[in-house]
Chain A
């Protein structure tokens, strides 16, 4: 049983560009959450998708947007990249039946130059 997978592993972008990160949840999970982990910090909640809609959102600007597909996979899009967007982006999946049990993927390391 595959766990949470994310792609790509690493990504280098230039300021002002746009980026799309992808996540496939653990089998049987229907909810996907995204977190940003800056170097040396704990993860910060970006948003959560359930039933293809954004259900909760953290304190992140509208440049951060997402999508959930019918197969429960998800994308995180970041527009107009800033240097401060450089971080590890983590995807976590869970089941609506046990929402507090979050399984994390290995993350995508985004570097903005």
Chain B
């Protein structure tokens, strides 16, 4: 079955530091890949996505590239802010034969990011 593995957390950084959160996956076919963010007490928000190999998703300064050869989708940001403190989830969507998807998501365990001023 599908699975997603994220780097162990938590991650603690100073403001303006460089961020990398590693994510690797196991899946059949060519799933779409996502990063979701969860702020304290809230639901999940889609941060960025990539739907095919070599696609780069980006949003709010965050980037991730779909690497099929290494089955990875690492999240990066060049300069983090205190407001980026949250839990980050890597996820993939199922892919049926013929390239269809119903959108069922498989999530990693999440990485807690804390940014200090």
Contacts and interface: CB of A to CB of B under 8 A. Distances in A.
Bound together: yes
Interface of A: 4, 31, 33, 35, 40-45, 48, 50, 55-56, 58, 90, 92, 94, 99-107
A102 B103 contact: yes
Interface in B90-117: 91, 93-94, 101-110
A99 to B, nearest CB: 4
B45 interface: yes
A94 B44 contact: no
17 contacts: A4-B43, A31-B102, A33-B104, A40-B109, A41-B109, A41-B110, A42-B4, A42-B89, A42-B107, A42-B109, A43-B89, A45-B105, A45-B106, A99-B93, A101-B103, A104-B43, A106-B43
B46 A101 contact: yes
Contact of B102 (A43, A56, A101, A106): A56
B18 to A, nearest CB: 24
B43 A100 contact: no
Interface of B: 4, 32, 34, 36, 42-46, 49, 51, 89, 91, 93-94, 101-110
A42 B108 contact: yes
Nearest to B92: A100
A111 B4 CA distance: 27
Contacts of B36: 104
A102 B105 contact: yes
Nearest to A94: B103
B66 to A, nearest CB: 13
A88 to B, nearest CB: 8
A104 B44 CA distance: 6
B101 A100 contact: yes
A104 B103 contact: no
Contacts of B32: 100
Given A43-B105, A48-B102, A90 B93 contact: no
